[in-house]
Every structure is written in C-alpha cells, then in structure tokens.
Amino acid sequence: MVKHRLKVHAAALATALGVAAFMATVPLAADAANTAAPDKPVIVVLGDSISAEYGLPRDTGWVALMRRRLADERLDYNVANASISGDTTSGGRARLPALMQRLKPAIVIVELGANDALRGVPLATTEDNLRTIIEQAQQAHAQVVLVGMYVPPNYGMDYTQKFHGIYGDLSKQFRVPLVPFLLAGIENRPDMFQADQIHPKQEAQPTLLNNVWLTLKPLLRPPSAQ
C-alpha cells in the first residue's frame, strides 16, 4: 500500500479544506462553461481543491498543464475544469447532470472523495455517489477516468485501506480506467506541498499531470481520427 505522508490530524485538515471551500469558485465554473466549443470533443475534470488550483497562480495546476500538453501533442480536445475547492462526491453528483447536458463531454475525469473522508461521510455513501457519477457519465456515452486517493494514516489502516479500495472496486465493476493515486511520487516529499501539507505546490503539478496522463492518453483519439 502506498504510504501517504500527510500526517496532519483531522481537525487541521478540515479547517484547511474549509478555507478552500470558501475560495471564490465562479471563475472555475466559468472555465467549465467557456472552454467547450462544439467542434471539439470535451474533457471535463470533476474535482476538488487539488484540481481547482487551490493556493496556486491561475492556469498553473495540473488541469491547465493537461490542456497545454494536449495542444502540444496536437490532440484536438477542449478541457473544462469543473473542479470546486471543498467539493465532495455528493456535490459532484449533484453538479454532473447539468455539466453533461451543457458540455456533452467525451471524457469525464473524476477526482473526488478526499473531502468526504475529512467530513466523516460514511464510506458507503461515498461509494454510492461515485457509482452514480460513473453511471450518469456512461449513460451519456462519456468515458470515465477515476482518480484514486488516500486519506492520512491517522484515520487508521483499516479505514485508509477501505477508502482507497472503493476506487479499485468501482474501476473493476464499471471497467473504467483508474489513476491509482493522484499524488504518487510526491506523497513522501514535504517540499512539494504548500504550508498546509495538503495541497501540492506549483512545482508538483507536472507530476500530478503525468500520473493522470498515463491513464488518459490511451483514451484519446489521434488528430487524424477526429
């Protein structure tokens, strides 16, 4: 099992993410609405503060870097970042139908769940919400990429393993590709995290992108096929 280094007690985590939730999210919602054009397939990122550039300069997070890599590799996709700091799987589940209707994405990258653990949401509820998100996306003929997360070890080994296991179980059940751990490669490097030791710094964002890209790339159509 990957050993998550973020040894911060639950109260501190909840406080930090409460601040994240308080951040203005209107620009990110606008980003989701404005980046999609009808002549290109759309990739929607449905995530929380780690994908919403919390504590980072605008357009320096891994989602923005993904947009640039797609352009550099001449893969003609729009990227809509529908991530909101502090969001939970319940929030993502509630927001998804409108996003699917408006953007009609070809791919939905789901990066949610960590805030559920921080708020004490039952594991069964988190699993049910993620299952519904996957089902809704697939029913709309979108491919899904599920992004796995760990919670800090102070939650206990049993809880940590069960929480992470949700992602693998759903990946197998719905045959959707899985990013095993978004923070792989930086989890034991405190220098790669902001002062809260929760949110990755700007210099860590290429690693996050690479973790996602390995799973995403096989789903992308080459320019000649678009």
In the predicted structure, residue 9 carries a pLDDT above the cut 70 = no
Structure tokens at 174: 């719905």
Share of the chain above pLDDT 70, in %: 82
168-177 residue pLDDT tens: 999 999 999 9
Give pLDDT, residue 222.
85
Residue 38 falls inside a structural domain: yes
Residue 123 lies in a domain: yes
- The reported pLDDT for the residue numbered 10 is 41
Using CA atoms, how far apart are residues 104 and 32, in angstroms rounded to an integer? 12
Q: How many domains does the chain have?
A: 1
Flag the least confident range among 4-18, 136-150, 181-195, 208-222.
4-18
CB 4 within 8 A of CB 184: no
- Are the C-beta atoms of 24 and 77 separated by less than 8 Å? no
| DSSP 8-state code for residue 50 | T
Q: Which residues of 213-225 are buried (b: 16+ CB within 10 A; e: fewer)?
A: bebbeeebeeeee
Tell whether the torsion through CA atoms of 184, 222, 92 and 25 is positive or negative: positive
Residue 33 pLDDT more than 70? no
- The predicted structure's pLDDT at residue 224: 53
> 43: domain CATH number?
3.40.50.1110
Is pLDDT at 25 greater than 70 in this prediction? no
1 assigned to some structural domain = no
* Confidence category of residue 153, pLDDT binned at 50, 70, 90: confident
Catalytic residue numbers, as ranges: 49, 196, 199
Tell me whether residue 225 is in a domain: no
Window from 12-21, 56-65, 199-208 with minimum mean pLDDT: 12-21
Whole-number pLDDT of residue 14: 42
- Find the domain containing 133 and state its range: 10-219
- What was the pLDDT predicted at 155? 82
Whether 226 maps to a domain, the answer reads no
Q: Does residue 3 fall inside a structural domain?
A: no
What's the average model confidence in pLDDT over 118-145? 97
Instruction: Give the C-alpha distances (Å, rounded to integers) separating 35 from 39, 56, 67, 108, 221.
Output: 12, 20, 10, 15, 19
- Mean pLDDT, all residues of the chain: 86
In a domain, 120, yes or no: yes
pLDDT at 23: 38
